[in-house]
Structure 1
Amino acid sequence: MINSYPDLIHAACHQPLPQRLLFVFCRAELPEDASESERRAFEAGEGGALVPVVCVDKLPQEVVEFDRLREESRHTGQAWDIVFVAAMEGRGGVAPSSDEAQQPLTMMVETLRLGQPGNYLPFDQNGELVSLGP
Structure 2
Amino acid sequence: MISSYSDLIQASHSQQEPQRLLFVFCRAELPDEASPEERAAFERGEGGALTPVICVDKTPEEAPDFGALQEESRATGQSWDVVFVAAMSGRGGTPPSTDEAQQPLTMMVESIRLGHISNYLPLDSYGNAVSLG
Deviations 1:68-127 (A, max 9, x none): 100100011111000000000000110000000000000000000001102100000011
Moved more, 59-68 or 102-111: 59-68
- Quick one: which amino acid aligns to residue 109 of structure 1? V
- SS of the residue corresponding to residue 62 of structure 1 reads coil
Match runs of 1:1-134 below 5 Å: 1-133=1-133
Deviations 1:21-61 (A, max 9, x none): 00000000001111100000101111100000000000001
Identity, % of aligned positions: 69
Q: Which runs of 5+ in 2 are unaligned?
A: none
**C-alpha separation between the residues in 1 aligned to 2:132 and 2:53?**
18
Question: Runs ≥4 in structure 1, deviation > 2 angstroms?
Answer: none
Q: Which runs of 5+ in 1 are unaligned?
A: none
**C-alpha separation between the residues in 1 aligned to 2:13 and 2:62?**
11
**C-alpha separation between the residues in 1 aligned to 2:94 and 2:85?**
20
Question: RMSD value over aligned CA atoms?
Answer: 0.6
- SS of the residue corresponding to residue 15 of structure 1 reads coil
**C-alpha separation between the residues in 2 aligned to 1:118 and 1:91?**
25
Q: TM-score, normalised by structure 1?
A: 0.97
- SS of the residue corresponding to residue 52 of structure 1 reads strand
**C-alpha separation between the residues in 2 aligned to 1:6 and 1:36?**
39
- SS of the residue corresponding to residue 60 of structure 1 reads coil
Q: TM-score, normalised by structure 2?
A: 0.98
